[in-house]
Amino acid sequence: MKNTILFLEYKTIAAFAMIILLLSGCKNDISVVKSLTIKEKSPTEKATNMHLYFSESGVVRNEFLFAEMNKYTVPESYIEYPKGLKVTTYDEDKAKEITLTANYGINYEDKKQIEVKYNVVIINHKTGETIETEHLVWDMDKHIIYSNTQTKRTKPNGDIEIGERFESDETMSKYTIFKPHLIYAADRE
């Protein structure tokens, strides 16, 4: 009799387990699976302390430095430089043309736009001018660089021009400061 009771208990436990499995029914919802496998704010690529050179026909044209880079692909593809960046362009004679520094940068690859923020400084080594602003956008489709925030331009003689916004071609050779106010250098003779 003991063996019969033990056998019935195993049958009861097995039937109970089967009922639980049938009632809980699993369904593979693709959004749930993706949320478990891809973390939305986790970078797919990461790099630190990089110093890169880009060349054309063996001549260095761009130098790129950053402390940290994170590439994301979800929900859209972009590369973020949360600790800032420094970019220098060179002419065919290896002379510096433009140096840009910023405390933060982001490259929206699909939109073809690069944004830099916070303490943005552009030095034009050819003209000796410096442009300072807090936000700058390079629109690669429109071939323009612009800022819709206050912009300060310092000329080599010390003259300062402050305007409401700024727009330039990609080479920074032709640019406009909108609604400028000119402040002359203090030590003029």
Count of domains forming the chain: 1
Task: Determine the structural domain holding residue 77 and report its residue range.
Answer: 41-183
Q: How far is CA 185 from CA 121, 129, 166, 173, 188, in A?
A: 19, 14, 21, 23, 6
- CATH number, domain containing residue 91: 2.60.450.10
What's the mean pLDDT when you consider all of the chain?
78
- Domain assignment of residue 6, yes or no: no
Residue 162 vs residues 132, 151, 182: alpha-carbon distances, Å: 9, 6, 7
How far is the C-alpha of 185 from the C-alpha of 124, rounded, in Å?
A: 19
Task: Give the pLDDT confidence of 27-71 residue by residue, as tens digits.
Answer: 555 555 555 555 557 888 888 898 888 888 878 888 888 999 889
Over 50: is that where the pLDDT of 131 sits?
A: yes
Residue 58 Rama label (left phi>0; alpha psi -120 to 50; beta): left
Within a domain: 36? no
Give 70-80 pLDDT, tens digit per residue: 898 877 888 88
- Whether 94 maps to a domain, the answer reads yes
Does any domain span residue 169? yes
Helix (H) or strand (E) holding 165: strand 165-169
pTM summary value: 0.70
Establish if 97 belongs to a structural domain. Answer: yes
> For residues 136 and 16, which has the higher predicted lDDT (pLDDT)?
136
176 has pLDDT over 70: yes
